[in-house]
Amino acid sequence: MSIQLQLRVTTGQPIYRGHDHYWSVIRDLGKAQALFTLAQIGERTNDPVNDCVIDYVRRLTKAGFLEVADRQRVPTNVGTTTVQQLYRLLKRPAATPRLNRDGTIAKQGLGQEQLWTAIRALSGFDSRELAIAATTDDVAIAVETAKAYARHLESAGYLQVLRPGSGTKSRIWRLKRSMDTGPKAPKILRSKMVYDTNRGEIMGAPVAEECAA
């Protein structure tokens, strides 16, 4: 018999990490051509390991969003000195740049962005119509992918069912006006957690990662 777990999100410490947060910090630090350091970005995150910040800054630099404008020598905690790079923001789009490690544009996650944009534009749709509307030259959306995304949003309360699917008739949805929360797509996450069957509880903090579409 499988175990079904229901996760409840409660009010707690905000999660100041991930590319979306790093980008918002970088855009703020880089206002008016101001120079900034990796340490300054790290101070405004709650990521215990700075490797993620360093990795994203490298991607942005390779893609031409940032440049190393200067270097300065600063003291360390062990009485020595180290060279610290100062970055300048060259491009500041509102949307978070999704980049591969080599600086090229990443296609992972674009599917959900395209689906959400289409959902916001359509007055009503079935999964086939949604897939067609969401498909671009960069990323083609399969009908099953569109259906799965719509089902997730329906379960989360974003979509109203205009016609239940039955037989040869497709299910038709539309976005609830109250749930048009903005241009960024709701992300479908896959949870990773350790469940202790002896105690009947989750051990450690639940971790979730985005399912690409």
pLDDT of residue 162 exceeding 60 = yes
Query: Is-above-0.85 flag for pTM?
Result: no
**Is 110-189 the same fold as 1-106?**
yes
**Cβ neighbour number for residue 31 with a 10 Å cutoff:** 10
Domain 1-106 is found in CATH 1.10.15: no
Higher pLDDT, 209 or 122: 122
CA 53 to chain CA mean position, Å: 15
**Residue-wise pLDDT tens digits, 62-116:** 999 999 999 999 888 888 988 999 999 999 998 889 999 999 988 877 899 999 9
Q: Are 27 and 11 in contact (CB under 8 A)?
A: no
List, for residues 123-151, the tens digit of each pLDDT value.
999 999 999 999 999 899 999 999 999 99
Mean pLDDT of all residues in 50-65: 94
Q: Which fold has domain 110-189?
A: Arc Repressor Mutant, subunit A (1.10.10)
Kindly state the average pLDDT of the residues 179-203.
Answer: 73
Strands (E), 90-128: none
CB 151 within 8 A of CB 127: no
Amino acid at 189: L
Domain boundaries of the chain, sorted by first residue: 1-106, 110-189
